[in-house]
Structure 1
Amino acid sequence: MFDWESATEAAIRSRGETPRFTRLAAQLPALPSAIRLDLPAHAVEQGPLGMPSWSGIVAVLQALAEKLPADPGWRTEGDVL
Structure 2
Amino acid sequence: MGLVHAWRMQKLVSEARAAHARGDRTFTAGFDIDPAARVPMRKIRKEIDLIVDAVEAIGWKCVQVQPFLHSVDIGFVRAR
Give the TM-score of the pair, scaled to structure 1. Answer: 0.29
Give the TM-score of the pair, scaled to structure 2. Answer: 0.29
Structure with bigger helix share is: 2
Higher normalized contact order (CA 8 Å, seq sep 6+, divided by chain length): 2
Structure with bigger strand share is: 2
Q: Which has the higher Rg, Structure 1 or Structure 2?
A: 1
